[in-house]
Structure 1
Amino acid sequence: MAPERKPLPIEFYQRTSLELAPSLLGCLLVKETDEGTASGFIVETEAYMGADDRAAHSFGNRRTKRTEIMFQEAGRVYTYVMHTHTLMNVVAADIDIPQAVLIRAVEPHEGQFMMERRRTGRRPREWTNGPGKLTKALGVSMNDYGRMITEPPLFITEGFTPEHISTGPRIGIENSGEARDYPWRFWVTGNRFVSR
C-alpha cells in the first residue's frame, strides 16, 4: 500500500503562471484510474500568461466553451485536444486572470506497467516525454477538464527539488508573433524525459 500522500494546497497555485511553472518542476503528478495509480515527476512546463500572451488560448481575454475554465480559480485542470492528443494544463493566478501552465513532460514513477501498456511499442523514454504522451501514459483525459488539482483522482504532491532548471522558448507556437520567443518554457536540466 502506497503511503498516504497529501495534494499540494490550493495556495501553491495562487500565483502567476510564470511563478508556478518552475515551481511545479520536481512535483509528482498522480492519476488514479480503475486500473490503478500511475504517477510521474514533472520535468518540463510552459507558462501561458493569459490576456497579453499571444500564444495563450485566452489571449485578448478570449472566452470560449474551451477556455472558460482558465477564467476560474487557480488549481483547476484545463485539458484540451490537439491533433487527437489530450494536453493538460493547471490554471494559475486568480479568477478572471486566465493564466495556465502546460505540463510538457514527466519522469515515470509509479504504474510503469500501465504506462507501457498504454504506450505500446514505445521505449520507456518515449512514454512521457511530451504533453500528449504523458496524458496517454497516466490516463489523463478530457474527463478531467475542470477538476481541482488538489483532490483525487488527479492531483499533484511534493516530489524532489531540481538542482538546476533551464529556460527557453516555448514549443509549437510559431504563429504567435513575439510571444514565440519568450523564455517561458522550464525544464529540469539534463533530465532525459524532457521533450526535446
Structure 2
Amino acid sequence: MSDKLRKFFSEGTTDEITKKLLGKLLVYNSPQGLMSGYITEAEAYLGAKDSAAHAYQGKRTPSNEALYGYPGTVYIYSIHSRLCLDIATQAKDTPEGILIRGIEPYQGIKWMERNRSKHGYNLTNGPGKLMQALGIEDKKMNLLEFGETDLDIKLDDGKIPEKIESSGRIGVSDRGKWTEKPYRFYVAGNPYVSKMAKRDMNLETYGWK
C-alpha cells in the first residue's frame, strides 16, 4: 500500500475519515475487466467501545482479524449470506473500520449489470449489492491491503459532495445506544445511497459539487 493511503486511513478519527472517503473512487481490477464507482455511503465503526462493531470489547477472532491490520487493510465479511467490504482504519491493532455501503458506478457498468441482473440506482445502493455488482464472491482479498491487491481507492480521482448527511446505522440489530449513533454518512441527494427516497434524490447533480 502507498504511504498516502495508509496516511489517509489513519489521520483523524474514524468518523472523520469516513466523511472524507465519500466521493473517492473505489476501483476493482476484476477478472471481467476494470470496474469502479464513487463512494456515496459509508459507516464508521469505532472498535472496542462501539457495541455495534465486530471488535466490541476487544473481540478478536480469525474472522475479524483484518480489523486489527494496518490502516487500509481489506476486511471482507459475510452477513445474511452476502459479502460486505470494510476498510481497517487507525493504527495497527486498533480495530476500527469503515463499511462501504454504496457506490455510484463509473467504469464497467455493463459488467455490474450483468453480475446483478439489475440496472439503475438499485445496482449498487447497498453493501451486499455493490459486492455482487463487482463480482466479488469470496474472501480471497481479505487481510490484504488496498492498492496491493485488485482493490484500490484512488484518492485523487474523486468527486466532492455538496452536502454530507448522517444517520444511525442501517441493518444493525439493536446493540444499545451505539446502534443509533450518527455514524452512517452519505452524499445528500445521491440516488446510489441505500433507502434514498425518490423525493430526496437530486437527479441533476447527484449531490456532487
TM-score, with normalisation over the residues of structure 1? 0.93
Equivalent position of 1:119 in the other structure? 116
Instruction: Measure, in 2, the Cα distance between the counterparts of 1:194 and 1:151.
Output: 28
Q: RMSD of the TM alignment (CA)?
A: 1.5
Structure 1 residue 174: Cα displacement: 2.7
Helix, strand or coil at the partner of 1:11: helix
1:36 equivalent in alignment to 2:33:
yes
Relative to 1, partners in 2 of residues 1:22 and 1:190: Cα closer, same or farther, differing over 3 Å? same
Aligned positions, number: 190
Equivalent position of 2:200 in the other structure? none
Helix, strand or coil at the partner of 1:171: coil
Equivalent position of 1:169 in the other structure? 168
Equivalent position of 1:130 in the other structure? 126
Counterparts of 1:1-196 in structure 2, within 5 Å, are 9-15=5-11, 16-120=13-117, 122-140=118-136, 141-157=138-154, 158=156, 159-196=158-195
Identical columns (%):
38
Structure 1 residue 59: Cα displacement: 0.2
Unpaired runs of 5+ residues, structure 2, are 196-209
Helix, strand or coil at the partner of 1:193: coil
C-alpha distance after superposition, 1:131-167 (max 9, x if no partner): 0000111133411211211334100003111111001
What code does the residue aligned with 1:42 have? I
C-alpha distance after superposition, 1:81-102 (max 9, x if no partner): 1111110001001112100000
Which stretch shifts more, 107-116 or 137-146? 137-146
TM-score, with normalisation over the residues of structure 2? 0.87
Structure 1 residue 195: Cα displacement: 0.4
What code does the residue aligned with 1:9 have? L
Comparing both chains, which one has the higher relative contact order based on Cα–Cα distances under 8 Å and sequence gaps of 6 or more? 1
Helix, strand or coil at the partner of 2:177: helix
Helix, strand or coil at the partner of 1:177: coil
Structure 1 residue 7: Cα displacement: 9.9
Instruction: Measure, in 2, the Cα distance between the counterparts of 1:25 and 1:47.
Output: 12
What code does the residue aligned with 2:6 have? I
Instruction: Measure, in 1, the Cα distance between the counterparts of 2:78 and 2:148.
Output: 23
